[in-house]
Chain A
């Protein structure tokens, strides 16, 4: 099973700041990595797939990068609605999710 490790566990930032979230895979997943946003009481929302492609309707302030084992989700300037939990997910070998990063208001 491919293990995904996300860091940090919690990111405390203010609106307008840049957020950088990390996801590391225990073995190469090539570019088969996605990012999701989840708010309380809601299903996850797909943001990024294939490591760097934005899903339909996702604002340009969200960007993904990386390949192999190291990946980054960047939110260029945090909006109030961006404070949530973010998960990475690989589909190189079936599916696993990372443990999540909570982006909270500082």
Chain B
């Protein structure tokens, strides 16, 4: 069965960077892209961007352009999301999510979420 297992919670200071991992299993990693979605406390869902696990192509939400980088390591079936120049409003639960072949941007598969807290 498809599983996405994310790294543990992080506490960072303003201005620092964070890198969250998402290890995939139960399917052929390079056949599907990974999206990242975040949710600030008590708020809604925000799509951050997508990476193709096949060729590394990316598309980032305009709001995060220049601060976010998504990568993959096909040898370990792991996707990464790095966010730089952290601010307090980056405090959120960060999710990785995967679609299916016909609809890669509908997400039946989600990681468990990683809480990133930005605080001085």
Contacts and interface: CB of A to CB of B under 8 A. Distances in A.
Interface residues of A, number: 21
Contacts of B108: 46, 55-56
B106 A46 contact: yes
A44 B45 contact: yes
A99 interface: yes
Interface centre among B47, B108, B110 (most CB of A within 10 A): B108
B103 A50 contact: yes
A44 B110 contact: yes
Main secondary structure of the interface of A (DSSP, over half): loop
A98 to B, nearest CB: 7
Contact of B35 (A1, A95, A100): A95
A44 B107 contact: yes
A38 B37 CA distance: 14
Interface in A47-106: 49-50, 55-56, 87, 89, 91, 94-100
Interface of B: 35, 37, 44-47, 50, 59, 61-62, 95, 97, 103, 105-108, 110-113
Given A46-B108, A50-B106, A95-B35, 10 more contacts: A43-B110, A43-B112, A43-B113, A44-B45, A46-B107, A50-B103, A89-B47, A94-B105, A99-B44, A100-B44
26 contacts: A36-B107, A38-B45, A43-B95, A43-B112, A44-B37, A49-B103, A49-B106, A50-B103, A55-B106, A55-B108, A87-B44, A89-B45, A89-B47, A89-B106, A91-B103, A91-B105, A91-B106, A94-B59, A95-B35, A95-B50, A95-B105, A97-B37, A97-B45, A97-B46, A98-B44, A99-B44
